[in-house]
Amino acid sequence: MLSLSLKKGMMGLLMMTTQAFAVPTETAIFAGGCFWCLEADFDKLQGVISTESGYDGGTTPSPNYELVSSGRTTYAESLRVVYNPRIVSYKDLVDYYWQHIDPTTKDAQFCDSGHQYRSAIFYLNDKQKNIAENSKKRVEKLFHKVYTEVSPSTHFYPAEKEHQSFHIKHALKYKYYRYRCGRDARVASIWKEKKMTDNIKKLTPLQYEVTQEGGTEKAYQNEYWDNKAPGIYVDIVSGEPLFSSIDKYDSKTGWPSFTKPIDKNAVAYKSDKKLFIERTEVVSSQAHSHLGHVFDDGPEPSRERFCINSASLRFIPKEDLEKEGYGEYLSLFK
C-alpha cells in the first residue's frame, strides 16, 4: 500500500497538473438587436467557450422576455460571452461585434425597433471600458453618426430556457427570421461596401496599387523603411492595428520589417505564386489589404521577417495614440 505521504504527494502533483491545464476564462456582454442572432454569430468565433442570451442595461429586478420585448423596461436583449483570453482577446471580441451589427441606427437593429433592441457594449471593468471607447472612436471615423452605446453593465439576467441556443434548437424558424429581418444583407452593405469603398477612394495611386492590386513599392524609396519613432502601424484602408515599432528592425532590405504583428489575429496569410516561386502573402484581417510577405530569414527566436510596404500603412506616433482612438496600445511603451 502507498504511504500517506506518498499519497499526499501524488494528490498535490495531480492538483498542480490540473491547475496548469485549466482553461482561463473572461466574460464580455454585448447587445445588438435580437439575441438569437448575436448568439449565433459569436458561437462561430474561435476562442468563445459559451454564450448565453439575456438582458442587461436596465434596473427592473428579474426582467423577463415579455417585459423586455414589449419595451416596458430599460433593458436591451443582450449576450453574455465567456471566452478564453489566450485564444481571443477582448479587443478581438469588440472588433468582431462591430462587424455583426449596424452602428448607424438608433434604438433599432435591422427589422427590430425599440430601445430594447439598441446596440450596446456593456463593459465589466475599466479595461473593457477603455478598449470599447477607443474602438468606438475608430468606428466613428467611418460613419457620420454612431449610436452604439458604451455603458457599464447594470446586471445581466439570463433569458428563459427557450431562448437559449435558439438557432440550434429551432434552426428553420431562426434562419427564416434572420433572412426576413435582412440582418446579413444590411451588415454586408454597411461594412463591406461603405467602410472600404469610402477609404479606398482616398488612396494615392501607389497606395491603391499596393493594397488593392498586390503591388510592391521601391526599396529605400518609401515612407517608413527607416522610421525609428515609437508608435504603431495601422492599415491605410481600415485603420486596424497591424504592427508596433517595438517589433520593427532594420532588415537591410529597404522596406519596413517586423518580427511579428501587433496581434496574431491582425493579419491573414495567402499563398502567392506570382514570381514562379511560392511565397506567403500577408494581408490585413479586416480589409484584406495586401501588406507584403513573411519570410523565414528574420531574427531569432521566430526567424520570421514581415516585409511590409509603407504604402499599406499609416503610422501613429505614441503621443497621438489616445486622441486617434488607439489608447489601449499605450501600455506597449511603458
Grid coordinates belonging to 197: 469603398
Q: Are 146 and 50 in contact (CB under 8 A)?
A: no
- Residue 65 CA, chain-centre distance (Å), reads 29
CB atoms < 10 A from the CB of 332, how many?
16
CATH ID of 205-333, from 2.60.120.890, 2.170.150.20, 3.30.1490.190, 3.20.20.70: 2.170.150.20
**C-alpha dist (Å) from residue 270 to 267, 274, 280, 285, 289:** 10, 12, 6, 11, 12
Instruction: Write down the CATH number for the domain with range 18-195.
Output: 3.30.1060.10
Domain ranges of the chain: 18-195, 205-333
Tell me the catalytic residues: 34, 307
Single pTM value for the model: 0.63
- DSSP secondary structure string, 13-38? HHHHHHHHTPPP-EEEEEEES-HHHH
Tens place of pLDDT for every residue, the chain, 334 residues? 445 444 445 545 544 444 456 889 999 999 999 999 999 999 999 999 999 999 999 999 999 999 999 999 999 999 999 999 999 999 999 999 999 999 999 999 999 999 999 999 999 999 999 999 999 998 888 787 899 999 999 999 999 999 999 999 999 999 999 999 999 989 987 876 666 677 888 899 999 999 999 999 999 999 999 999 999 999 999 889 999 999 999 999 999 999 999 998 899 999 988 877 889 999 998 788 999 999 999 999 999 999 999 999 999 999 999 999 899 999 999 8
Alpha carbon distance 24, 21 (integer Å): 9
